[in-house]
């Protein structure tokens, strides 16, 4: 499942791979509704590209994805949407926060945006976005965790206004305390050792069976 921030046209239909089953829309317009043009172009591109994703036409602002549940999306894409949000009175920073909310752990945020918006670096904001553990009451003193792990970015030189393209990966461990992370790593190591032991036992069992078979064949031919 893929969600696009600030749908303006039908580009996303040809941008995403055919393995994506569903494309959810959001709008950079002030009223949070898709424009008639955006709806038409999405439909045209889907009709031209057989086997493309089913489009869920959802009227929701890009900075308030109210119709999309937590951790329900595999990929969020943002294609030059942040500047349009600013022009229309929406908050592009909240759109990044909303992307983090709806993404599943390990999900991807793919973006091509202006390098700076209102004096803030888009990449730095994504990289420094942090959250607290769910259910924490003392938010002011709570331990904070980075939402996104390192991905990759590159400058885009084909436009007059500097842009940056990249991918950010939602952390699998977001919201876990230091103790919980250590416990998770310890369990993963324990599981890894167990897998190695099982594999060694299975290889030894196959060798013993093969040896017995050879001995039985030798005895029958004697």
Tokens 């050879």, residue? Answer: 214
Q: Give start and end residues of each alpha helix (H) in the chain.
A: 11-15, 36-48, 82-87, 92-102, 122-128, 178-221
Nearest to 111 by CA among 130, 125, 128: 125
pLDDT at residue 137 tops 80: no
Q: State the CB neighbour count (10 A cutoff) for residue 94.
A: 15
Residue 213 — pLDDT band, cuts 50, 70, 90? low
Mean pLDDT, the chain, rounded, equals 84
Kindly report, residue by residue over 93-135, the tens digit of the pLDDT: 999 999 999 999 999 999 999 999 999 999 999 998 887 665 5
Token pair for 142: 């709570």
Token pair for 74: 């595999």
pLDDT at residue 187 tops 70: no
Q: Model's pTM, two decimal places?
A: 0.74
């Amino acid at each position: 499942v893929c969600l696009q921030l600030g749908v303006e046209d039908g580009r996303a239909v040809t941008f995403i791979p055919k393995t994506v089953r569903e494309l959810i829309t959001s709008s950079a317009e002030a009223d949070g509704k898709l424009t008639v043009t955006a709806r038409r172009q999405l439909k045209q591109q889907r009709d031209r590209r057989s086997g493309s994703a089913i489009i869920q036409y959802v009227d929701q602002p890009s900075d308030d994805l109210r119709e999309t549940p937590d951790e329900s999306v595999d990929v969020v894409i943002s294609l030059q949407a942040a500047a349009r949000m600013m022009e229309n009175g929406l908050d592009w920073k909240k759109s990044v926060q909303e992307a983090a909310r709806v993404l599943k752990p390990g999900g991807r945020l793919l973006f091509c945006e202006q390098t700076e918006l209102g004096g803030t670096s888009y990449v730095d904001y994504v990289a420094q976005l942090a959250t607290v553990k769910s259910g924490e009451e003392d938010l002011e003193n709570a331990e904070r965790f980075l939402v996104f792990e390192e991905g990759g970015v590159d400058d885009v030189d084909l436009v007059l206004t500097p842009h940056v393209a990249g991918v950010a990966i939602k952390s699998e461990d977001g919201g876990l305390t230091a103790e919980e992370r250590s416990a998770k790593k310890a369990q993963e190591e324990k599981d890894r050792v167990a897998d190695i032991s099982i594999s060694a036992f299975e290889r030894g069992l196959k060798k013993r069976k093969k040896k017995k078979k050879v001995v039985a064949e030798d005895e029958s031919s004697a």
